[in-house]
């Protein structure tokens, strides 16, 4: 693991998820840019200090020096965004499997480079768009691919959070500590890069359609703030299909309100992340149906993504564990469904989305092809 040391919630989430799915063991890593803190973390976690490295280069050298069967096979990158690319690149080139937090890189160019390198290096690569690990998101994908909705006519996704709101308004002194607001750490976008891209990914994941062009209206909210904290993106797909992504990091009181609705010619599907075990199928000619996990009416992939009996809620860690499990199958060379984990192509799409959104906004809210 790279990053994810003391106090980092995303790193902890990855470790928990890997333990839940039980196909991984945490052997070593570079847990902090400060080597002492990294070692402190390693001690706390009971990790062999010889494998707590000072840098990614040391890690690569150290691990490659070990017999192949003892080596770290897969590395999770859970650093701030700007480090994803260079670390992933080195690891892939040295034939480590990589699990990378999103956004995959800070530019399309980097993303495409990773894609090309992977094509050469033949390792597995997983991008943790965690929400695609939820059973009902997978069920949604399956129902759509089976044609239950008829022809899709409209897609509407939302990602509203409020935690940055309290920072920018009430606790300004803390704002410097929030690396997510700083371009040098996160890249060219905050709201769209950090959360809007999840909505984008969820749309392409569930519908199986590519967004062809978009028109974005972004808002930095305050004058001192350097990046977008809020925005709306109009979407166009093939065949005159339209959609919209709405996203905000300053939606006071919203926690993690990611939602998606896909409207078809025959029926529609709606899902919301804060109540992940409910999937609503609306139709013109019958009562709305509520799909829930652990029921035999679900698809195979959805059912395999939930372990407990019906009515025992699983959550975000289990969603991430499902993605880790798919990646483990890939690493072991087993069969897996393409819906089991997002990969480098999803990463390239995500970076294209972010760049296109920023460009559309900068050019005065005009249509741009992705």
Name the residue nearer to a second copy (CB basis): 238 or 312.
312
Name the residue nearer to a second copy (CB basis): 212 or 246.
246
The single residue among 63, 142, 204, 230 that binds a second copy, judged by CB under 8 A, is 230
Please list, in sequence order, all residues whose beta carbon lies within 8 angstroms of the beta carbon of residue 363, skipping any fewer than 6 positions away: none
Backbone angles phi, psi at 116, to 5 degrees: -70, -40
Name the residue nearer to a second copy (CB basis): 93 or 217.
217
Stretch that binds a second copy, among 111-119, 162-170, 190-198, 327-335 (CB under 8 A): 162-170
**Is 20 a binder of a second copy (CB under 8 A)?**
yes
User: Site map for a second copy, 302-341, x if CB under 8 A?
Assistant: -----xxxxxxxxxxxx-----------------------
**Is 250 a binder of a second copy (CB under 8 A)?**
yes
Site for a second copy in 198-217 (CB under 8 A): 215, 217
User: Site map for a second copy, 63-82, x if CB under 8 A?
Assistant: --------------------
Among all chains, which residue has been given the structure tokens 């704002």?
175
Helix 344-362 / helix 197-207 crossing angle, nearest 10 deg: 130
DSSP 8-state code for residue 101: P
Site for a second copy in 122-151 (CB under 8 A): 149-150
Query: Alpha-carbon distance 189 to 193, whole Å?
Result: 5
- 227 contacts 234 by C-beta, under 8 angstroms: no
Mark 204-233 as b/e (b = at least 16 C-beta within 10 Å).
bbbbebebeebbbebebbeeebebbbbbbb
Site for a second copy in 265-304 (CB under 8 A): 265-268, 273-277, 281-292, 294-297
**Is 7 a binder of a second copy (CB under 8 A)?**
no
Mark 149-167 as b/e (b = at least 16 C-beta within 10 Å).
beebbebbbbbbbbebbeb
User: Site map for a second copy, 76-115, x if CB under 8 A?
Assistant: ----------------------------------------
- Site size toward a second copy (CB under 8 A) is 85
Query: Alpha-carbon distance 96 to 79, whole Å?
Result: 17
**Is 2 a binder of a second copy (CB under 8 A)?**
no
Q: ∠ CA 340-270-268 to the nearest 5 degrees?
A: 105
**Is 161 a binder of a second copy (CB under 8 A)?**
yes
């Amino acid at each position: 693991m790279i990053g994810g040391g003391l106090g980092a919630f995303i790193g902890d989430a990855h470790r928990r998820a890997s333990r839940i799915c039980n196909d991984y063991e945490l052997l070593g890593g570079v847990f902090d840019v400060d080597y002492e803190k990294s070692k402190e973390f390693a001690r706390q976690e009971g990790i062999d200090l010889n494998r707590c490295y000072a840098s990614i280069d040391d890690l690569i050298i150290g691990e490659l020096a070990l017999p192949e069967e003892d080596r770290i096979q897969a590395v999770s990158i859970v650093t701030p965004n700007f480090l994803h690319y260079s670390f992933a690149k080195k690891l892939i080139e040295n034939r480590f499997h990589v699990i990378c937090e999103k956004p995959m890189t800070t530019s399309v160019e980097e993303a495409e480079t990773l894609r090309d390198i992977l094509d050469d290096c033949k390792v597995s690569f997983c991008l943790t768009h965690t929400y695609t690990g939820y059973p009902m998101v997978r069920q949604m994908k399956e129902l759509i691919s089976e044609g239950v909705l008829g022809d899709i006519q409209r897609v509407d996704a939302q990602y509203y959070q409020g935690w940055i709101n309290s920072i920018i308004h009430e606790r300004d002194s803390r704002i410097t500590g929030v690396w997510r607001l700083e371009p040098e750490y996160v890249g060219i976008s905050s709201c769209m890069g950090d959360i809007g891209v999840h909505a984008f990914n969820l749309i392409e994941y569930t519908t199986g359609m590519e967004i062809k062009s978009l028109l974005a209206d972004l808002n930095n909210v305050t004058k001192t703030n350097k990046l977008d904290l809020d925005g709306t993106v109009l979407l166009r797909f093939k065949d005159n299909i339209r959609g919209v992504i709405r996203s905000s990091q300053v939606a006071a009181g919203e926690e993690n309100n990611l939602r998606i609705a896909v409207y078809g010619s025959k029926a529609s599907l709606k899902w919301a992340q804060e109540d992940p075990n409910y999937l609503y199928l609306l139709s013109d000619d019958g009562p709305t149906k509520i799909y829930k996990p652990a029921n035999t009416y679900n698809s195979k992939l959805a059912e395999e993504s939930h372990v407990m009996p019906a009515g025992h809620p699983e959550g975000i860690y289990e969603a991430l564990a499902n993605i880790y499990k798919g990646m483990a199958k890939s690493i072991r060379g087993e069969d897996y469904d393409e819906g089991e984990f997002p990969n480098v192509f999803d990463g390239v799409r995500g970076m294209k989305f972010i760049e296109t959104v920023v460009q559309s906004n900068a050019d005065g809210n005009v249509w741009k092809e992705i």
